[in-house]
Amino acid sequence: MNRARLDMNENPFDLPVEVKRSILEKAVSLPFNRYYAEMGGPAGAGADRLAERIASMNGVEPGMVTLGNGSDELIMLNATVADPRGRIIVSTPTFGMYSRAARASGRLLVEVPMNERFEPDLSRLLEEARGPGSLVFVCRPNNPTGNLCDIEVVESLLRETGATIVVDEAYYEFCGDTVAHLLGHFPRLVVMRTMSKAWGLAGLRLGYMLASSEYTARVQEAKMPFNVNVLTQMIALEVLNRSDLVERSVAAIREERAWLARALDGIEGVIVFPSVTNFLLVRPRVDARELRASLRELGVYVRLVDDPPGYIRVAVGSRRENMDAVAALRRLVSG
């Protein structure tokens, strides 16, 4: 039975075979026995070249870039270097890794509930963030709700508090809206991105962070050496030079998102929320946990959302996967 894997917010479109073949040919000359790969330059040039490429792409200095083993490592690093007296503040519902990082780093987590439209409670966020040494994670666009909070939320937090504001832009490419242009004005701003979603490299585990050179130096001190392997570095450099691939992929996912949203909205007993990401938040009239289990039996994998309860998150897949998901949901919810 074919599976519709719509539970991890992955890109449904793999790299073209010809690109993979080119990468594999270059991998033959890559020294797997060295911590650093030369890749045409001095020792360590692979990581340096990748950081320089990302810096150039984002209009910042290389000293403002930190590479991570996925965004998860970067989230943990931000929690690790945070003031131990401070608290980690999030607007919920949001990405679960922030709370995990708070627990792992021994920081107190403060959750500020969003309103019924999944908009942040700015006045409460400001009140909480004014505490000494605060660290605020802002998922923008937000996971699992799929919406984009106003940029004024980030600007207000930066202007009216002394907190470090980490904006997670994992789904930036799907909406094109970023706060990175504020980096030069606010040294307490951190912007995180990932190569797992739009770039389709989830299995390679690569994220990057943009921040002031001073903050970046602090994070680099806490980061494990050799955290991004040489094969991932080489593949990322190849893919970053093929921006046409991500442009086509994002365009296709946006088209599929619109199709999937319309199809799900046509199912009686299903409410679909607007999204600017590669997934949709869905509220079924039936029990969400039981629905998730029944969908798995039909080969359709979706994510159960615990906060808020009663929801599922459906990633945008290929047309075949999306059709299978719609047919299964229609059968289980309407039938």
For the stretch 95-110, pLDDT in tens is 999 999 999 999 999 9
In the chain, % of residues over pLDDT 90: 91
Distances 326 to 274, 286, 332 between C-alpha atoms, Å: 17, 15, 10
Whether the predicted pLDDT of 42 surpasses 50 = no
Higher pLDDT residue, 53 or 37?
A: 53
Angle formed by the axes of helices 151-160 and 122-129, to 10°?
30
Residue indicated by tokens 């004024």: 152
For the stretch 201-251, pLDDT in tens is 999 999 999 999 999 999 999 999 999 999 999 999 999 999 999 999 999
Whether the predicted pLDDT of 164 surpasses 70 = yes
For the stretch 11-34, pLDDT in tens is 999 999 999 999 999 999 898 888
4 and 321 Cβ atoms separated by less than 8 Å: yes
Per the prediction, the chain carries an average pLDDT of 94
- Residues shown for the chain: 335
Q: What confidence score (pLDDT) does residue 36 get?
A: 73
Domains annotated on the chain, with CATH: 4-14+244-334 (3.90.1150.10), 31-241 (3.40.640.10)
Rounded CA gap, 142 and 48, in Å? 31
Whether the predicted pLDDT of 303 surpasses 70 = yes
User: How do strand 279-284 and strand 311-315 relate by DSSP bridges?
Assistant: antiparallel
44: left (phi over 0), alpha (psi -120 to 50) or beta: left
Q: What confidence score (pLDDT) does residue 335 get?
A: 66
Q: What confidence score (pLDDT) does residue 218 get?
A: 95
What mean pLDDT is predicted for residues 52-57?
96
**What is the spatial order of strands in the sheet that 303-305 belongs to?**
270-272, 279-284, 311-315, 303-305
As to burial, measured by CB atoms within 10 angstroms (0-12 exposed, 13-18 middle, 19+ buried), residue 327 is middle
Q: What confidence score (pLDDT) does residue 45 get?
A: 45
Residue indicated by tokens 């242009």: 181
Rounded CA gap, 177 and 231, in Å? 30
Q: What confidence score (pLDDT) does residue 2 get?
A: 72
